Amino acid sequence: MKQQLGWLTFMLGLGFTVILFITLVGSAWFGLPVESASIGFFGSGLPLIFTGIGTMRLWSGEKQLLNRLGWTATVAGLAFGVCVLVLVAVLIIPGFQSPRPGIGHFVGFGIAGLICGGFGIRILLDNARDQ
Whole-number pLDDT of residue 12: 95
Whole-number pLDDT of residue 131: 66
Model confidence pLDDT, tens digit, residues 8-50: 999 999 999 999 999 999 998 888 888 888 999 999 999 999 9
Contacts of 69 (CB under 8 A, 6+ apart): 10, 52, 55, 56, 59, 120, 123
Distance CA 61, CA 45 (A): 26
The pTM of this model reads 0.89
